[in-house]
């Protein structure tokens, strides 16, 4: 009889505390890529199989071309609308960002109203603090556009409206031009003194985990440490300042310091060039944050000194006739 009671109690707690469903995730691809490309499809398939969570690639416009030519504020607005329409994300979801896609992912978190909550944000090679040069152009048409931009200036109106990377190019020796002319990253990073928005910070600090993956041999991001929010000092092209010594972190413009001090930021360094992540690193660095199981019934933090918590435990133990010491179990809840 005691065995039956213990088994019944076990079933009760399984139903109460582990009644969960997998959390879906979306992938936001990088510049020049597309959801229809085999590399992206395989990437999502591997992550889904390893984590047991459904994954989706969120395409913006016409994929590769629009990733180059559509301003990032417009790309973010499109992403916001799509996320709201995806019923599978309604209870919350995770984001996996690839390179430029990370900035759109952060834009969803910080700028979008009425979207489902983002739980974990996994960033692979994200230019979070900016880049000191435009990425390789990759195609004849884009290179032609790139040449025009170089002649007019990266912070010109033409560049900001027609070349997506211009929205996060941060030239260290022209910070005034960056703040005045760049239309995306200064807003995203809350860098504009008179326009700092506490809502962006509040939304960003709501993340459960922020995973920042930097590639050791990255030759696309200049500097590579931008993947960790590290960057050059204002007015100089060297050395790279660690994130903890930047104004963004010290003054906590977006809540990065708050997240870090709460133990929610993971700074991960992997071997490889830009986005060249191995299967084993995917399994180690990404999958654990996609396998997050969210209980249907939230588990409160039990304080053993509180009357209601001890009463509940006593009631359950009395009901099932179990008197074993459950101190270890209760401490884990």
Paired sense of beta strands 25-28 and 93-98, if any:
parallel
CA distances to 96, 121, 280 from 285, rounded to whole Å, are 12, 12, 8
Catalytic residue among 29, 33, 48, 218: 218
Host H or E run for residue 98: strand 93-98
Distance CA 97, CA 121 (A): 8
Of the candidates 53, 99, 123, 166, the residue annotated as catalytic is: 99
Place of tokens 């009425």: 114
Q: Is-catalytic flag, 323? A: no
Which one from 33, 53, 274, 292 is the annotated catalytic residue?
274
Which of 36, 177, 195, 168 has its CA nearest to residue 104?
168
Please, are residues 53 and 290 in contact by the beta-carbon 8 Å criterion?
Answer: yes
Structure tokens at 88: 């599978």
Task: Report DSSP letters for 250-305, one per residue.
Answer: HTTSSSHHHHHHTT-EEEEEESSSTT---HHHIIIIIGGGTSPEEESSPPP---TT
22 alpha-carbon distance from chain centroid: 18
Q: Give the whole-angstrom CA distance, residue 95 versus residue 30.
A: 13
Which residue do the tokens 């990370």 mark?
102
Rounded CA gap, 128 and 292, in Å?
25
Cβ contact 302:309 at 8 Å: yes
99 is catalytic: yes
Residue 251 burial by Cβ neighbours in a 10 Å radius (0-12, 13-18, 19+):
exposed
Among this protein's residues, is 274 annotated catalytic?
yes
Q: Treating both helix axes as pointing N-terminal to C-terminal, what angle do 101-111 and 72-85 enclose, rounded to 10 degrees?
A: 70
Place of tokens 């959801």: 35
Cite the active site residues.
99, 218, 274
């Amino acid at each position: 009889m005691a065995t039956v009671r213990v088994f019944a109690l076990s079933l009760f707690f399984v139903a109460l505390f582990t009644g969960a469903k997998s959390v879906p995730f979306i992938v936001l691809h990088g510049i020049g890529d597309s959801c229809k490309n085999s590399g992206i499809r395989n990437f999502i398939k591997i992550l889904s199989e390893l984590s047991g969570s459904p994954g989706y690639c969120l395409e913006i416009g016409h994929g590769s071309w629009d990733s180059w030519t559509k301003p990032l504020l417009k790309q973010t607005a499109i992403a916001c609308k799509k996320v709201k329409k995806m019923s599978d994300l309604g209870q919350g979801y995770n984001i996996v960002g690839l390179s430029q896609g990370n900035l759109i992912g952060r834009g969803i978190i910080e700028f979008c109203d009425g979207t489902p909550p983002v739980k974990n944000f996994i960033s692979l090679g994200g230019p979070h603090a900016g880049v000191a040069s435009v990425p390789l152009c990759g195609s004849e048409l884009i290179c032609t556009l790139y040449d025009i931009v170089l002649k007019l200036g990266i912070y010109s109106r033409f560049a900001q409206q027609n070349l997506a990377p211009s929205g996060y190019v941060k030239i260290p020796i022209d910070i005034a031009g960056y703040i005045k002319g760049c239309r995306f990253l200064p807003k995203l990073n809350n860098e504009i003194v008179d326009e700092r928005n506490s809502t962006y910070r509040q939304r960003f600090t709501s993340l459960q985990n922020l995973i920042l993956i930097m590639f050791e041999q990255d030759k696309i991001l200049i500097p590579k440490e931008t993947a960790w929010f590290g960057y050059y000092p204002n007015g100089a092209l060297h050395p790279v300042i660690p994130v903890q010594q930047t104004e963004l972190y010290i003054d906590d413009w977006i809540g990065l310091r708050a997240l870090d001090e709460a133990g929610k930021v993971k700074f991960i360094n992997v071997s490889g060039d830009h986005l060249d992540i191995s299967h084993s690193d995917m399994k180690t660095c990404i999958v654990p944050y996609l396998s997050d199981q969210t209980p249907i019934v939230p588990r409160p933090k039990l304080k053993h000194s509180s009357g209601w918590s001890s009463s509940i435990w006593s009631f359950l133990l009395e009901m099932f006739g179990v008197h074993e010491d459950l101190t270890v179990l209760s401490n884990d809840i």
